[in-house]
Amino acid sequence: MEDSASLTAYFNNINIWNNLRDYIPHPYTAEEAENFIGVQSELFPTQNFAIVNEDQIVGGIGISLQQDIYKMNVELGYWVAETFWGTGIGTIAVGLLTQYVFENFAINRIIAEVFEHNKASMRVLEKNGFHLETVRRKGIIKNDLLIDDYVWVKQKIY
């Protein structure tokens, strides 16, 4: 819980939010951070991790479990504090989380959906052995613009 201030400071950033789903609050307040940390710290196995550089939170990465007939899938989400973009943190975090997820959850597929303009995120996934499965043309509306949805996947059984 003592990390909520640094989480808020870095995550409350429109340049990050513009690449994420609308359910994520923006502006992001200390109260949202505390609620998030409270809920996540109760889950076992852990589903959302802080990305930490020395003793400071510089990002977050996690999964959301899918339900029903999709329960062998998880969806991956991540962000890095803007001042650290391009330093390799995202690539390392996705690699570690991918390994952790396959070891700790009975799932077959890790999916990441990326907005068409987000080349850095696609590169991070590509470097970690994800492949581009499909593009849902104009499948997303974000900031009132229709954009393509790039679906990247890493899986065990084909």
> Residue numbers of the site for ligand COA (CB under 6 A)?
16, 19, 78-80, 85-91, 112, 114, 118-121, 123-124
Q: Whole-angstrom Cα distance, residue 102 to residue 129? A: 14
Nearer to ligand COA, 84 or 105 (CB): 84
Two tokens at 22? Answer: 């609308």
Closest distance of CB 69 from ligand COA, Å: 24
- Asked if residue 128 lies in contact with residue 154, where contact means CB atoms within 8 angstroms, the answer is yes
Q: Where are the alpha helices (DSSP H) in the chain?
A: 4-11, 14-17, 30-40, 89-104, 119-127
Closest distance of CB 24 from ligand COA, Å: 10
Nearer to ligand COA, 42 or 54 (CB): 54
Q: Give the nearest residue (CB) to ligand COA.
A: 90
Q: Whole-angstrom Cα distance, residue 145 to residue 127? A: 28
Nearer to ligand COA, 106 or 140 (CB): 140
Closest distance of CB 64 from ligand COA, Å: 13
Q: Whole-angstrom Cα distance, residue 124 to residue 121? A: 5
Closest distance of CB 122 from ligand COA, Å: 8
